[in-house]
């Protein structure tokens, strides 16, 4: 279990790779895009620099962490010796099912296959492999090196041995694992996404403006970030995908995405990643400021 493969070098993937590497694990970071791998490593290096500046780690720790990460564009080569594979690709069901079918072929029989999905059924993902007992959810929070929570999601066939292994492993990363069962949205997003969706409905119905809604939630409910700003940070496309999964899973209209959210995603207004969502991040690099405030 000292060799960990992470699939996807985006925000979540590079954060997961960073965290495992910082704690001494050998990490194979895999992405089909060499450019994305380069960006991921630059992000990891920058986050480590911030940790050095805050005296959280020493300069030598940064180099050791980076030395523990090897990048791959070939999935088979990257997962060959992994004791644990964590899939952190885009929140797309078809893509994840395709990846897990490949993992079932490429990985050793005793390799644990985990997904960082924030809403998609672990049981459905496990149905694509010949070892459903070894499939489990590890839902890290963003930014991964900072946030303590890991939702450990037990699929219908996940074995107790695998569950216990992942719970202990999470604790070794100085995280707090919380075991939950496999239902759409799990716990975090089953509660969070309806709140974000209702905030968008409040804006859509012209009850109040963006900053007014966020201010009420920050000052009145002691949230560190307003729900609309948080939606921008998560990605409005991701929010929409999670709501769709929950709506399809429960058939309950309370999970139906707000028309405003649907239109913004169709218009390419995805939040921080696109430069504009409920807030405008294009001028004076506001996007970077939003992200950095969470890595202080």
Q: Cite the active site residues.
A: 118, 139, 151, 189
Contact between residue 130 and residue 201 where contact means Cβ atoms under 8 Å apart: no
Please report where in the chains the tokens 């409040």 appear, as a residue: 202
206 labeled binding residue: no
Complete edge-to-edge strand list for the sheet that includes strand 84-87: 69-72, 26-30, 3-7, 84-87, 112-115, 135-140, 149-154, 176-181
Q: How distant, in Å, are the alpha carbons of 91, 100, 204, 295 from that of 190? A: 16, 24, 21, 25
Q: How far is residue 150's CA from residue 11's CA, in Å, rounded to a whole number?
A: 16
Q: What angle do CA 241, 39, 234 make, to 5 degrees?
A: 25
271 labeled binding residue: no
221 labeled binding residue: no
264 labeled binding residue: no
Nearest alpha-carbon partner for 48 in 295, 255, 251: 295
12 labeled binding residue: yes
Peptide bond into 130 cis (omega under 30): no
81: which 2 tokens? 């010796």
277 labeled binding residue: no
Q: What are φ and ψ of residue 2, in 5° steps?
A: -85, -10
13 labeled binding residue: yes
140 beta partners: 150
268 labeled binding residue: no
273 labeled binding residue: yes
142 labeled binding residue: yes
Binding-site members are 8-13, 31, 91, 96, 118, 142, 273
Binding-site residues for NAD(+): 8-13, 31, 91, 96, 118, 142, 273
């Amino acid at each position: 279990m000292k060799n960990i493969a992470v699939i996807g070098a985006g925000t979540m993937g590079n954060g997961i790779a960073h965290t495992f590497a910082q704690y001494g694990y050998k990490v194979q970071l895999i992405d089909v895009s060499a450019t994305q791998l380069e960006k991921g490593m630059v992000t990891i290096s920058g986050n480590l620099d911030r940790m050095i500046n805050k005296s959280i780690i020493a300069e030598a720790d940064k180099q050791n962490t980076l030395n523990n990460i090897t990048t791959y564009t070939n999935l088979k080569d990257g997962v060959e010796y992994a004791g644990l594979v964590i899939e952190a690709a885009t929140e797309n069901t078809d893509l994840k099912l395709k990846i897990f079918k490949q993992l079932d072929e490429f990985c050793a029989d005793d390799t644990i296959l985990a997904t960082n999905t924030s809403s998609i059924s672990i049981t459905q993902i496990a149905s694509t492999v010949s070892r459903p007992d070894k499939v489990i959810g590890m839902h890290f929070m963003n930014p991964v090196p900072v946030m303590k929570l890991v939702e450990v999601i037990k699929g219908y066939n996940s074995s107790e041995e695998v569950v216990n292994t992942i719970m202990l492993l999470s604790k070794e990363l100085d995280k707090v694992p919380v075991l939950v069962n496999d239902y759409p949205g799990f716990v975090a997003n089953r509660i969070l996404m309806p709140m974000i969706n209702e905030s968008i409905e409040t804006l859509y119905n012209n009850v109040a403006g963006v900053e007014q809604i966020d201010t009420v939630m920050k000052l009145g409910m002691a949230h560190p970030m307003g729900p609309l700003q948080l939606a921008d940070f998560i990605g409005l496309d991701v929010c929409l995908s999670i709501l769709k999964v929950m709506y399809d899973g429960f058939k309950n209209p309370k999970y139906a995405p707000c028309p405003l959210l649907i239109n913004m995603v169709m218009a390419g207004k995805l939040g921080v990643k696109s430069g504009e969502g409920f807030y405008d991040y294009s001028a004076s690099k506001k996007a970077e400021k939003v992200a950095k405030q969470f890595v202080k």
